[in-house]
Amino acid sequence: MVTEYRDRGLNLLKKGQKGIVHAVFSRFGLILLLLLIQVFALFGIFRWFEGFLPHIFGGTVIFTAVMVIGLLNSKIDPTAKLTWLIAIMILPVFGVFLFIYVQSDIGHRALKKHVDQIIAETKGQIPQAEDVMERFSKEDAGAASLARYMRRSGCHPVYEHTAVTYFPLGEDKFAAMLEELEAAEHFIFMEYFIVDEGLMWGRVLERLAKKAAQGVDVRVMYDGTCEFALLPHDYPKRLRALGIKCKVFAPVTPFASTHYNYRDHRKILVIDGHTAFNGGVNLADEYINQKVRFGHWKDTAVMLKGEAVKSFTLMFLQMWAIDEKEIRPARFLKYPSRPNAQAAGYVIPYGDCPLDDDKLGERVYMDILNRSLRYVHIMSPYLILDGEIETALKFAAERGVEVVLILPGIPDKPIPYALAKTHYPPLLHSGVKIYEYTPGFVHAKVFVSDDREAVVGTINLDYRSLYHHFECATYMYGADCIPAVEEDFQATLEKCRQVTLETVRREKLGVRFTGYLMKVIAPLL
């Protein structure tokens, strides 16, 4: 039955895709529309109101000045302020309307208010064990202060007794998750940015349908961009026919949505409250190298078993409640977490919400950089930095810490690839070492430092992840898997080419020009 359904879904998939038509009815389409309006408006002004040009020019200057003053006194990120200032000063009409449109969040206001309310109401659902926090503080006061900040930002307690398994490839995670799904007895929660039909999702779907038929509470949530490019609009209905509860987070709506903002970029799988998966691996065949798109796909993930799984359970339920009047997580949090007394170290699963003022994902990375003593090793698919994180990377290198970045050798998108290149010279001048993965594309999001702490999750080093998306990650201190994370980094490094100032100078002119040009609008991409 499931195989038949999957085949039917594959046959109907192309009928559900919107392609270029859907792309037109997005923010991209609105930008083009506003640009055309400005062109016609300016032509009309010059053509029909030639005698009033001094007045029009003066009014434009005053209007632009008011907008500039308002921007300078806003809470927007300084780099984004510069982008908007340039846009408004060069294109007063178009720039102002685009700014108003993006900042107004038309189509997301209700979502923003409700998600903010849910997170605020559930901050105290999982209490912090004070004895655990006390032991953590004695072991490392600096890391403990980071934990206190993370707790302030949301319900992110410090846990002991959680075993963490590190997967250096998506294929490894895939094999483990299939095994764990077979053992599910009570509930399966899945929250992913991308779900795409194929071998990976097909095998997962078979198990989900089987478990749903056995009475297991199976819930699947994916981001609305899947409807934009990958899945038919009625896909939740198709899954419900198999007994699987399904929701789409923030579907993209024509013109009414700044759809690049507030995407659910998280990847969470929770099974029965005792096992959780997190990392960069989505539910699509390229993530397990069954489909080759940009050479070999290098990705990573972790599996948690123990008390820390509760945090991922709560994170999922917070997002699941976006279209419900109330959230009732207590029932699912009561399932036994099966603590592992032999597991070393401390674990903090955490989520980053773009609706608050705490840029948690960025600040965790910056704190690790600022406290590091010997090394910080990083894997990221993108490098589109604001001034703060770039300064943190440079400062760590300048004070003698070995800061090494592994980035893709084969890009998935030309513009982010070109933008990353613009950061190479200042980082290299400060002593940061940069490598590119020659076999293909690095999608991993990994920080590991001083053999003692690491982060594996969904958070890229770019504006999308650090400012505009719902993200999540697993922070680990002294966990048994940290040597495996560093070992994988070194093994990946052997497959990379080193970037130098000389190789930067030899970069193709088109790539360099694209990067310099796009950097002006980098916060908007």
Full set of structural domains in the chain with CATH: 19-104 (no CATH), 109-350 (3.30.870.10), 360-524 (3.30.870.10)
Residue 9 has pLDDT above 50, yes or no: no
Separation CA 216–CA 211 (nearest Å): 5
Residue-wise DSSP of 90-117: HSHHHHHHHHHHHHHTTTTHHHHHHHHH
Beta-carbon contacts of residue 15 (< 8 Å; ≥ 6 apart): 232
pLDDT by residue (tens digit) across 360-403? 999 999 999 999 999 999 999 999 999 899 999 999 999 999 99
Predicted pLDDT of residue 54: 65
Residue with tokens 């004895």: 131
User: What pTM value is reported for the model?
Assistant: 0.85
Separation CA 126–CA 380 (nearest Å): 31
Least Cα distance to 264 among 277, 276, 282 occurs for: 282
Query: SS3 for 40-87, per residue?
Result: HHHHHHHHHCHHHHHHHHHHHHHHHHHHHHHHHCCCCCHHHHHHHHHH
Least Cα distance to 153 among 389, 439, 356 occurs for: 356
pLDDT by residue (tens digit) across 23-70? 444 444 555 565 566 566 656 655 665 555 565 566 667 767 777 777
Residue 508 has pLDDT above 70, yes or no: yes
Predicted pLDDT of residue 1: 42
pLDDT by residue (tens digit) across 240-262? 999 999 999 887 765 444 445 78
Predicted pLDDT of residue 174: 98
Residue 480 has pLDDT above 80, yes or no: yes
Average pLDDT score over residue span 286-303:
97
**Of 80-94, 257-271, 289-303, 319-333, minimum mean pLDDT range:** 80-94
Least Cα distance to 103 among 62, 75, 79, 72 occurs for: 75
Predicted pLDDT of residue 147: 97
Tell me the pLDDT band of 525, cut-offs 50, 70 and 90.
low
Residue 10 has pLDDT above 50, yes or no: no
Residue 233 has pLDDT above 50, yes or no: yes
Predicted pLDDT of residue 42: 58
Average pLDDT score over residue span 468-487:
97
Average pLDDT score over residue span 342-364:
92
Residue 308 has pLDDT above 70, yes or no: yes
Residue 86 has pLDDT above 90, yes or no: no
Mean pLDDT taken over the chain: 86
